[in-house]
Structure 1
Amino acid sequence: MKEQGSHYPYVMLIATTVMAMIIIGGLSSFSILYKELLDFYNTRAGDTAIISSLCIFLNFAIGPFANYAAEVYSFRLVMIVGGFLGFLGLFLSAFVSQMELWILTYGVISGLGFGLVYSPCFTVINFYFERRRALAIGTVLLGTGIGSVVFPFVFQSLIAYYGLRGAVLVISALTLNICVCAALIRQPKELSHRKTSLHQKTNSEDESQEMKNKTNHDEKKQTCFNCHVCKPKRPLFHFSLLRIPSFLIYSIGFMCSIFAYFSNFVLIPGHARAQGMDSEDIAVFLSVVGGMMVLARPAVGILADSNLIHKRNIIGAFVAVGGILSIILPWMPGFFPLIIYSVSVGIFPGSFFMFIPLLLLEITTLDNLPQAQGLMNLCIALPVGISQPAAGWLRDLTGNWCWSFRVSGAVSLLAGVCFVLEPAFRPKKCLKENQTVSSESDQLENL
């Protein structure tokens, strides 16, 4: 990995990995709480799934605003505020008496908090790692896999010992560790140099003016103070990306991928519960998903960095395989088919997250990545918000989970088609230029 300056970027990599582990580990393990909420409040599957879906929706939807706020103020401050909001929402959830209030406490408050942390985690790492950027992103995603392995058993054990309310209190305290990790984050030089330049320019002008007229000392002090609170004049979104066919195709692909992926965290526990399996079995399935993420994502990152296969073809094949298995699963009931399916979710659909910034950097520059990734997160937020309730409502409508699996699989197959066929939507001139640049970069790396 090529890094900026000292070895401190590795400290930040560890910090962002831990934060991603807490957030995604908690969100994916909500399936354990999902079963308890169904029993505790005696509610419908689709309605209860709104809680988690709203939290995940906000986690992605406010990504653009989180990245912009991190650029205006600092990544550290934004992440600390987000960590506190995540704690506050969970803490309040332990005391609510109605399931609908969970939508406000966990869905909205914690969702906003997690959103202020999650997207900046990946954005800030892109500024500190260049040659092995895919491996760095894969390392952060490795944390999400570790969280998905550990947290289901932690949630299950806490519920067994302390009940639903006590378990949520302990989980809220665990979430406060996000604030500790966020304190280790430093602002990238690429984002801070604009303020520094403006400070120097303003200070030099002040000195020159002071030489001419010392009576304006108070006015110049006020000007100098204002320069320290100035904000970079950069757009919140780069809507010009919507005119690029590749960005639109990638957006559709990632929207379909994330719809299919997050629906699994309702499909797996719901399907297992319908076959008479208990919470311990569900925890095993979710941990298998996380375990395969741990094993697969670093290997996938190395494969993506090797340029042996184009990144869009890798992710296209992965989500297509996941979709086929999702369609087949309803015809194979039992414990072991669900284990095999959980393995496939961890390896194939679960790998698409790391490809979002990698494919965006083929369309835009590193300096514009925060706005580009923010716009992409805004695009994928909608399918995140409807994926789990849609699976639950289909189950309520049909009486089983079969059609929920089939719809999820079909959407995943559509994502694979979008990624693989993306070059067909590029202008021929751009395609030839990209191929030339790619071959030149490969030759430089070989040298």
Structure 2
Amino acid sequence: MGSPSSSEDSTCKRSAMCRMNELPCRLAKGVKWFKEEPKRLGWIITISCFIFYTASYSLMYGFSLLFTELINEFDTKVSVTGYVGCLMSATAYLVSPITAFLLTKISHRSVCILGSIFCAIGAFTSSFVPSITYLFLTLGIIYGIGVNFLFHASLCLQLQYFPVNSERPVTVASAGFSASWMVTLPLLHYFIRSYGWRIAMQLISAVILVLCLVSCIPLCPLPSTQEDNNDSYEEKDIKKLSRKESLKDSKNDAKHDKTDSVKPSEPRGKIDEAKEFLGKPETWMFLAATAGTMSGWSFYFVNIVNFLQSPDTVGLSEGQSASIIFMCGIGEIAGKLVLIAIAGVIQSIPSIYVAVFGNILDAIFTIGLVLSSSYISAASFVVAASFGRAIWHIYPITGGVEELKNSNCVSTIFLTGMGVGYIIGSFLVGGLHDLTGSYETPMVLVAGVFALAGLFFGFVPLVRYVRTNKHKRTHGSYYTVSIDDSHEDCDDCDRHTRKLSKQEKLLWTCDHRDDKKTVLVEDKSLVVDSLMSSV
């Protein structure tokens, strides 16, 4: 007969085995619970985006810490060294069309895994370069591609889960940029001071790889019932029904002289959507605004530490400059917390106009930084400018989706504009500094670019308004109604076919069919039920 202690041990082992066997079932129930409501999983993906931004942007934001080290190591000019950082940032956005194409072939998770590997390889191989020329490949190209894969794929997936009212989740995810200033930059600074910049690059590559690969796990595709976000909001109902393809035969034209009848066809492909999107003038206005704003921010990412330490400007020490960079992260976090708190108050204001306000703040604080002559004043203006950067992380992209109505195309245009802006900024700041030997002229120009880009953001809704009004004047303010194929020969439908306003309901008596009548209203669809007794 066994002792009581042995029976208790066997009971504990059996209960432990039962708990282990139940673990897969509990995990499956947890996954099912998340998938029942897509926004639950959307918030988990938002946390993954936060980690992606925190890890991958460590070297993009931390390049200002590497800036002086690379100049001392390779004895290069300010402009040449700055081009490495600008190329890295430009590549991180300019390859967005390639990423958009990859997303049509493989999943968002696969693209993010590729991005994690590219970032780790780029950072690790940079530690072995014998000259700065090789950094253009390792950091400028390979690492930049990895950042774009992570940023673009995760952002598109997040916007699919939150197609409307996306300000709060985008704010939470973009807090990763601020966390990169506050967490990974001090870590990178510690590695550089303790082990040198080469060993620091190897260590930071391991940190990036582990964090990003783990964060790729929850990146599940949106359930099929929610997948229509690739279309503009006005086109979702059309995709379910049919599209206008051709006019009716000439013999029916005389009969239906008040309307252009159409036949249903397949929905447009993504190439057609992209062509239509690029054909809008407000798209290019949005691109110019994004590029201009990013060319101004390239100074803060690449040249800010060198500016603060320059004897001709503020003349701060290395430790003081690093502390200001850390305070930038605090300023961004504080700004985003404020924006989250007042999101309900400013919800009635179009997001694009909030972006205009942010650009104006950036221009004012950049001028203030030019006039700074002490640690306190420089820190105050840099931290204040970081509040404008908090706005930049949220409202231009959400405003673009509101105005241009296509999240995938807006994401591609937005990131491409950021890449173009980095290239412009590298010549704008670094080139002018080498010519004049001072930061004063480049920074005044940067402030002007911020203001001009804000003006372009404000023009986006104005240009769209003018274009739509011109369309109304050309084609009329009413939409042409046409009946689907099953009602082509119906006298009642023919008699009641007429011009239809956007807000009107179409009601008539028809003995042709009892179920539903589909009415195509140019780019809108209207399904009218139970019209048998309606007049």
Q: TM-score, normalised to structure 1's length?
A: 0.81
Q: Secondary structure at the match of 1:166?
A: helix
Instruction: List aligned pairs for 1:366-381, cutoff 5 A.
Output: 368-381=406-419
Matching residue's letter, 2:464: R
Deviation digits for residues 173-200 of structure 1 (CA, Å, limit 9, x no counterpart):
1110212211321112359969xxxxxx
Shift of 1:343: 1.1
Instruction: List aligned pairs for 1:347-426, cutoff 5 A.
Output: 347-365=387-405, 368-426=406-464
* TM-aligned CA distance change 1:360 to 1:249, over 3 Å: same
Q: Distance in 2 between matches of 1:126 and 1:256?
A: 24
Match of 1:138 in 2: 171
Q: Secondary structure at the match of 1:127?
A: helix
Match of 1:100 in 2: 133
Correspondence for 1:68 among 101, 119, 127: 101
Match of 1:259 in 2: 295
Q: Distance in 2 between matches of 1:175 and 1:38?
A: 25
Q: Distance in 1 between matches of 2:424 and 2:141?
A: 15
Please tell me whether the aligned partners of residues 288 and 346 of structure 1 are also in contact (alpha carbons under 8 angstroms): no
Shift of 1:167: 0.6
Please tell me whether the aligned partners of residues 76 and 185 of structure 1 are also in contact (alpha carbons under 8 angstroms): yes
Instruction: List aligned pairs for 1:38-57, cutoff 5 A.
Output: 38-57=71-90
Moved more, 72-81 or 275-284: 275-284
- Do structure 1's residue 172 and structure 2's residue 205 form an aligned pair? yes
Shift of 1:304: 5.0
- Do structure 1's residue 281 and structure 2's residue 327 form an aligned pair? no
Shift of 1:390: 3.0
Instruction: List aligned pairs for 1:108-127, cutoff 5 A.
Output: 108-127=141-160
Instruction: List aligned pairs for 1:174-253, cutoff 5 A.
Output: 174-176=207-209, 177-189=211-223, 234-235=270-271, 238-253=274-289
Match of 2:332 in 1: 293
Shift of 1:43: 0.9
Shift of 1:407: 1.0
Higher relative contact order (CA 8 A, sep 6+): 1
Q: Distance in 2 between matches of 1:423 and 1:369?
A: 16
Moved more, 274-283 or 36-45: 274-283
Which blocks of at least 5 consecutive residues in structure 1 are unaligned?
195-231, 438-447
Relative to its length, the structure with more helix (as a share) is 1
* TM-aligned CA distance change 1:58 to 1:265, over 3 Å: same
Please tell me whether the aligned partners of residues 403 and 461 of structure 2 are also in contact (alpha carbons under 8 angstroms): no
Please tell me whether the aligned partners of residues 92 and 147 of structure 2 are also in contact (alpha carbons under 8 angstroms): yes
Match of 1:314 in 2: 354
Please tell me whether the aligned partners of residues 54 and 180 of structure 2 are also in contact (alpha carbons under 8 angstroms): yes
Match of 1:341 in 2: 381
Please tell me whether the aligned partners of residues 268 and 338 of structure 1 are also in contact (alpha carbons under 8 angstroms): no
Match of 1:443 in 2: none
Shift of 1:350: 4.2
Q: Secondary structure at the match of 1:332?
A: coil
* TM-aligned CA distance change 1:236 to 1:343, over 3 Å: farther
| Matched positions, count | 394
Please tell me whether the aligned partners of residues 134 and 302 of structure 1 are also in contact (alpha carbons under 8 angstroms): no
Match of 2:263 in 1: none
Q: Secondary structure at the match of 1:427?
A: helix
Please tell me whether the aligned partners of residues 91 and 148 of structure 2 are also in contact (alpha carbons under 8 angstroms): yes
Correspondence for 1:79 among 112, 116, 120: 112
Shift of 1:339: 0.4
Shift of 1:153: 1.3
Deviation digits for residues 346-394 of structure 1 (CA, Å, limit 9, x no counterpart):
10144213223312222344xx421332133223321212313431221
Moved more, 73-82 or 379-388: 379-388
Match of 1:223 in 2: none
Shift of 1:312: 1.9
Q: Distance in 2 between matches of 1:10 and 1:325?
A: 34
Deviation digits for residues 108-162 of structure 1 (CA, Å, limit 9, x no counterpart):
1111111111112211111112554111001110111111112221111101111
Q: Secondary structure at the match of 2:316?
A: coil
* TM-aligned CA distance change 1:313 to 1:137, over 3 Å: same
Matching residue's letter, 1:425: V
Please tell me whether the aligned partners of residues 57 and 147 of structure 2 are also in contact (alpha carbons under 8 angstroms): no
Please tell me whether the aligned partners of residues 70 and 76 of structure 1 are also in contact (alpha carbons under 8 angstroms): no
Q: Distance in 1 between matches of 2:453 and 2:341?
A: 23
Deviation digits for residues 205-263 of structure 1 (CA, Å, limit 9, x no counterpart):
xxxxxxxxxxxxxxxxxxxxxxxxxxx96339813223323322222221111111122
Deviation digits for residues 46-91 of structure 1 (CA, Å, limit 9, x no counterpart):
0001111111111111123213312321000011011101100111
Q: Distance in 2 between matches of 1:236 and 1:69?
A: 18
CA-based RMSD of the aligned residues comes to: 2.7
Please tell me whether the aligned partners of residues 63 and 118 of structure 1 are also in contact (alpha carbons under 8 angstroms): no
Please tell me whether the aligned partners of residues 26 and 147 of structure 1 are also in contact (alpha carbons under 8 angstroms): no
* TM-aligned CA distance change 1:175 to 1:429, over 3 Å: closer
Please tell me whether the aligned partners of residues 79 and 430 of structure 2 are also in contact (alpha carbons under 8 angstroms): yes
Q: Distance in 1 between matches of 2:39 and 2:455?
A: 42
Q: TM-score, normalised to structure 2's length?
A: 0.69
Please tell me whether the aligned partners of residues 267 and 405 of structure 1 are also in contact (alpha carbons under 8 angstroms): no
Aligned-residue sequence identity (percent) comes to 19
Which blocks of at least 5 consecutive residues in structure 2 are unaligned?
1-34, 229-267, 473-501, 503-535
Moved more, 82-91 or 373-382: 373-382
Moved more, 99-108 or 60-69: 60-69
Matching residue's letter, 1:399: G
Q: Distance in 1 between matches of 2:93 and 2:100?
A: 11
Larger Rg: 2
Please tell me whether the aligned partners of residues 294 and 418 of structure 2 are also in contact (alpha carbons under 8 angstroms): yes
Q: Distance in 1 between matches of 2:343 and 2:104?
A: 28
